[in-house]
Structure 1
């Protein structure tokens, strides 16, 4: 891909730095709303409906949409909406339990499992690790995506770019944790929506308008029926992989926990799911437009990079700022989520360590810097070998889906105990690993989730492990998330 002129490179770099500086100012301003460690970790009951919707969009639409989803549209047309539809299904699934989630005032996903099954350090440890591996995977892969995109734009070495985006992510998180992340995401999310529509429209214009696309792109890709162009097998694979991953992604749960009004919890998820379709429109228009202009790309995921070379100077610079806003907003959210698990679930609940508010916030900031450096180091050392992180989605979903959703459905009829959650999670991991080793066609997360459900139900029937309950509560005492898991129930 041809390099841009020195003047364009300087302009792109300056625009990127301006976006990071704006993010820093917004983060510091909104970070003042964080008055204690709870605000830093969870921003409880603080987000209006509009902020919840836009920040969910800003979190979900990252480097994957910029590269992989455009590639889907290039090769399979409107089938990209089948992919986005899987995310929407996940959001609708979360909406079913959203009101209850918001009422319980949770901080992290392991809090949910502890509420349902009772306090247990082993359960919290396994659930905490399962919950943090997905956002950590997002963090590392977003660093790599940023380096690849801006490496094409500017020719700057990948390590420099990765360290730059790492600093930008830290700037988003350090002032106020989740409080600063969500409000900054809100501002950047609006910018991302506007830029998505502008860039998508310009791509269609470059291709000669919609007429130019329909003349040069196979009809089965651009017609409404093109939503199935990827083929039934591929679409079902997306359903099996994406829906469970969305249902167990802590990044989405945290926005529900932080909703100001209980009544907005479910509505926010439904509206957030609808905004995800904007990402599909962006990817679809660019993919089809590039297919019309250059149908011979050997790698469909090069479509977005090819379009960049055709953008005029002004739009190229603004697009560079768009890339920064898109990736930094996602990395900041992922970074904060990982630290929330480390502090709340492992440091406090598993190891039983407690500190005052100021000390907890200071420790959270230190953990944030360490996690960011670790992810940056991984991205630099393995810039093209992070595919293994995709497995984090499968293992996380296999570990967490059954305890959360089966536990929610059974909570009023049975006494749920920690051994059931632990057995279900271990079975999920084992089922995932066995299917992966065998090399099954169906995503191994499906086998893991099935094994987890089966183990949980079997343990439910074991005498003394799960019995009909006269009360309509949950398996744990009290309300809300436990602060310190000092005992282990079996």
Structure 2
């Protein structure tokens, strides 16, 4: 273990994390209602909405996987960011409708669209939970992998440390404390992205040397955009776009805005910042490629870790704080989202919502600790199996995307029968599972989403929905 280096990184991280934790406890003390915990009191300003959307989207993936993508394929890295942005812009179209109805979670949207049904609530809640829980566990592993290589600290203590740090930002005030600390972390992340990217270019000998040393097609257009290959880009499309459209973390920040208009504006600003994150990953990736092309395509995810070993000690200390802030912003959001579903949806499906309102925040805090322990233990005991969690995006999107988006569109004119939602969700799960087992070359999420769409349309033809006007007349009569 490099004690001096570890101490410097720890000091810088304590300063940054300490400021963030101070914000979390200050906000949590002032905002401590159940609505503050779940949806930020529905009063977060535009700049907080923008930065918390950005900080939620940009986590360990950008720090490791996206740097690796640009290391291997140059401009192809922008596809990843583009699919996230397209998904968020689609959500912006529905922002006003979502905000006006004062939802708290995705299962509540399904209840509004298809009525109150315990079975549906349970299925939807589980499908929603598996994605942020997967994020939580994989972010723990990403943090430990990065810092274990640099500092020599064993894997398990680093995961435990990240778990404890994550709790500091969620326990004080739920989404309110998470969102305000995301604002601080987001500002810090943008600033450090510029600094680190500038150093990477300098270390590689300047931008001219970078361009000269990497393969020409990495920067050529349109060749650079297609280097990853059509099948890989298609995989990203059906993993990221539907995943973004069904990711509760983004919805909660719409619910937390003061209005639908401010929610949309926050999304537009966050999209700009996500492009900045993609540019950061591009610069680091190609700069490392120029300095050390030996990793190749297969070893591309080692590029980020190697770069850490090349920066001077003073910058590495600040960079360590940057990495920790980036990962904590995602783990905090993911953890709060999981707990919101467990308490607000799964528990409320079987327990009287009004019976123990006073104790719900306390219960949420205990649940937060429990979920954190489970995720940390899984990360320590079985980290090599966390790759399967990538499949949660495919299954979650296959179950949720069609009945959620088409349900919102249909709701303006029709009252759709819950059987349509069940048929769509079942078809999506079965289609995704069959393609997964068969090992199809086309991403299995494609089959799941197509099957879900077919199931939705067929069920609509069988159980024809009444118009809203017809339903109102029937109710009056």
TM-score (norm 2): 0.95
1:82 shift after superposition: 1.4
* Alpha-carbon spacing, 1:65–1:114, altered in 2? closer, same or farther (3 Å): same
Q: Which consecutive unaligned segments of at least 5 residues does structure 2 have?
A: none
1:395 shift after superposition: 0.8
**Map of 2:272 onto structure 1:** 274
More moved, 352-361 vs 178-187: 352-361
Question: In the aligned structure 2, how far is the partner of 1:71 from the partner of 1:256?
Answer: 31
Q: Secondary structure at the match of 2:16?
A: helix
**Map of 1:13 onto structure 2:** 10
Deviations 1:265-302 (A, max 9, x none): 22222222221111111110000000001011151101
**Map of 1:201 onto structure 2:** 198
* Alpha-carbon spacing, 1:98–1:129, altered in 2? closer, same or farther (3 Å): same
Answering whether residue 138 of structure 2 is matched by residue 141 of structure 1, we say yes
**Map of 1:255 onto structure 2:** 253
Q: Which consecutive unaligned segments of at least 5 residues does structure 1 have?
A: 478-490
**1:131 pairs with one of 128, 139, 142:** 128
- Does the 8 Å CA contact 1:125/1:350 hold for their aligned counterparts? no
Question: In the aligned structure 1, how far is the partner of 2:344 from the partner of 2:59?
Answer: 26
More moved, 277-286 vs 215-224: 215-224
Matches within 5 A, 1:98-177: 98-177=95-174
**Map of 1:178 onto structure 2:** 175
- Does the 8 Å CA contact 1:48/1:261 hold for their aligned counterparts? no
Answering whether residue 82 of structure 2 is matched by residue 93 of structure 1, we say no
**Map of 1:302 onto structure 2:** 302
Question: In the aligned structure 2, how far is the partner of 1:35 from the partner of 1:90?
Answer: 32
Deviations 1:436-481 (A, max 9, x none): 011112221121111112112222222xx3333152999xx9xxxx
Question: In the aligned structure 1, how far is the partner of 2:338 from the partner of 2:232?
Answer: 31
Question: In the aligned structure 1, how far is the partner of 2:470 from the partner of 2:220?
Answer: 51
Deviations 1:181-212 (A, max 9, x none): 00011001100111111101110111111111
Question: In the aligned structure 2, how far is the partner of 1:357 from the partner of 1:6?
Answer: 48
Q: Secondary structure at the match of 1:402?
A: helix
More moved, 410-419 vs 255-264: 410-419
**1:60 pairs with one of 53, 57, 77:** 57
* Alpha-carbon spacing, 1:259–1:27, altered in 2? closer, same or farther (3 Å): same
Answering whether residue 388 of structure 2 is matched by residue 388 of structure 1, we say yes
Question: In the aligned structure 2, how far is the partner of 1:55 from the partner of 1:115?
Answer: 26
Deviations 1:80-110 (A, max 9, x none): 0111111111111111211111111100011
**Map of 1:318 onto structure 2:** 318
**Map of 1:222 onto structure 2:** 219
1:14 shift after superposition: 2.2
**Map of 1:290 onto structure 2:** 288
1:227 shift after superposition: 2.2
Question: In the aligned structure 2, how far is the partner of 1:455 from the partner of 1:71?
Answer: 38
**Map of 1:417 onto structure 2:** 417
* Alpha-carbon spacing, 1:338–1:190, altered in 2? closer, same or farther (3 Å): same
* Alpha-carbon spacing, 1:262–1:96, altered in 2? closer, same or farther (3 Å): closer
**2:189 pairs with one of 188, 192, 202:** 192
* Alpha-carbon spacing, 1:467–1:8, altered in 2? closer, same or farther (3 Å): closer
Between Structure 1 and Structure 2, which shows a larger proportion of helix residues?
2
Question: In the aligned structure 1, how far is the partner of 2:168 from the partner of 2:384?
Answer: 26
What is the aligned-residue RMSD (CA, Å)?
A: 1.7
Deviations 1:358-394 (A, max 9, x none): 3100000000000000000000011222011001101
**Map of 1:399 onto structure 2:** 399
- Does the 8 Å CA contact 1:44/1:257 hold for their aligned counterparts? no
* Alpha-carbon spacing, 1:196–1:473, altered in 2? closer, same or farther (3 Å): farther
Deviations 1:148-203 (A, max 9, x none): 01101211111100000000110000000001000011001100111111101110
Question: In the aligned structure 1, how far is the partner of 2:30 from the partner of 2:106?
Answer: 24
Equivalent pairs counted in the alignment come to 470
